[in-house]
Amino acid sequence: DSGVTQTPKHLITATGQRVTLRCSPRSGDLSVYWYQQSLDQGLQFLIHYYNGEERAKGNILERFSAQQFPDLHSELNLSSLELGDSALYFCASSVVASWSYEQYFGPGTRLTVT
């Protein structure tokens, strides 16, 4: 158990809909990262938040957004969903000012868009 929690575990929705994925980082970690993993693309970095502020963006679509709240949990919002958005979504957290950049991953949310 990494100490990172994600809900829900599974999500099935229709095209055009909007969903919210939730992540709680390990106790004491201020950084939260979101990743998308699909069979053909591997693990793709989406966005990084540190202590409530956006720090970096990766391959995140404009239809996707995220935020980190004062209690440090984070939410990833996916809107106008398309079939191609079906994937595993992971969040990870890390220690502040970690020189080694180690990240600890949650169990993921499997999103299926039908």
Partner 1 sequence: TQLLEQSPQFLSIQEGENLTVYCNSSSVFSSLQWYRQEPGEGPVLLVTVVTGGEVKKLKRLTFQFGDARKDSSLHITAAQPGDTGLYLCAGAENYGGSQGNLIFGKGTKLSVKP
At 25, list the tokens: 């980082």
Q: Is 15 in the site for partner 1 (CB under 8 A)?
A: no
Q: Does 48 bind partner 1 (CB under 8 A)?
A: yes
The closest alpha carbon to 46, from 80, 23, 69, belongs to 23
Q: Mind giving me the DSSP string for 58-109?
A: -S--TTEEEEE-TTS-EEEEE-S--GGG-EEEEEEEE-TT-TT---EE---E
Nearer to partner 1, 52 or 107 (CB): 107
Task: Decide if residue 99 touches partner 1 (CB under 8 A).
Answer: yes
If phi > 0 it is left, if psi is from -120 to 50 it is alpha, else beta; for residue 97 that is: left
Q: Does 25 bind partner 1 (CB under 8 A)?
A: no
Q: How many residues bind partner 1 (CB under 8 A)?
A: 32
Least distance in Å: CB of 32 to partner 1? 11
According to the binding rule CB under 8 A, does residue 55 interact with partner 1?
yes
Interface positions with partner 1 (CB under 8 A) = 2, 4, 31, 33, 35, 42-45, 48, 50, 55-56, 58, 88, 90, 92, 94, 96-108, 110
